[in-house]
Amino acid sequence: MLVFAMDKIQFRALCKRILNKNRGWDIRDHKIITHLKGALQGKRSVLLFCPLPHEPNIKPLILWARRHKIKVFVPIIRHNLLEPTPYRLPLSKKLYNIYEPSPSLAVAKLDLALVPVLGIDGSGRRIGFGKGYYDTFFSRRKSTELVFVARKILRTKSLLGVKHDIVSTRCIDARTPNTYKRSIDAKYFHNYLDFLSFDSDFERLS
């Protein structure tokens, strides 16, 4: 059963609880990386991310991409804006406990971006931590292919997003890659992913 009567704050909190509570992510992360390698095939320049504890550990994917001559950028936050920066060591823990490389003058021309999500609303819009960094950045770069990534894709049928929230036609978790067909305005979605049964997770984690 889906939870329909849920606002964004409630949904975000539930997603955090589910993703932070679960254990045994190593096997799932390995499966996710396998799927993501396929998404990166043929790309020359990609935006990945340095994962937080609840996000898939894609560090092996970063190494794989660099070995395959793919330019890897990761987000840093400068002047309250997301800025893609070449991935290079050393990394330093910065805002929100996210590891970042030092700033660079390199200009990122991205073919694809892997975007971490907490969940997805009924119109396919990303629900993140609410800071809007990804939304602001990609609102001006609509040609970049976006792939939503999470250890478990959590969805609600409630329409929680706003117009500027980013939408992707593809999301990947530990299961097989999930593809969404959508109209241009993202108002109508047809998905091939079984909806998550929120009631059991909610009862177990409450």
CATH classification of the domain holding 95: 3.40.50.10420
* pLDDT given for residue 71 in this prediction: 97
> CA 114, CA 177: separation in Å to the nearest integer?
13
> CA 12, CA 171: separation in Å to the nearest integer?
18
Do 118 and 128 contact (CB within 8 A), yes or no?
Answer: yes
Q: Give domain status of residue 172, yes or no.
A: yes
* pLDDT given for residue 12 in this prediction: 92
Do 59 and 51 contact (CB within 8 A), yes or no?
Answer: yes
- The C-alpha angle with vertex 144 and arms to 140 and 150, in degrees rounded to 5, equals 105
Q: Give domain status of residue 3, yes or no.
A: no
| 129 φψ region: left (φ > 0), alpha (ψ -120 to 50), beta (else) | alpha
Provide the number of structural domains found in the chain.
1
Q: Give domain status of residue 147, yes or no.
A: yes
Instruction: Return the SS3 of 156.
Output: coil
Q: What is the DSSP letter of 127?
A: E
Q: Give domain status of residue 156, yes or no.
A: yes
Closest CA to 118 of 5, 3, 203, 18: 18
Residues in the chain: 206
Q: Give domain status of residue 66, yes or no.
A: yes
Q: Give domain status of residue 2, yes or no.
A: no
Range of the domain at 106: 8-205
Q: Give domain status of residue 97, yes or no.
A: yes
Q: Give domain status of residue 49, yes or no.
A: yes
Q: Write out the chain's pLDDT in tens, 206 residues.
A: 244 447 888 999 999 998 988 777 788 899 999 999 999 999 999 999 999 999 999 999 999 999 999 999 999 999 999 999 999 999 999 988 899 999 998 888 999 999 999 999 988 999 999 899 999 999 888 899 999 999 999 988 888 988 888 999 799 998 865 554 433 233 333 333 333 333 334 333 33
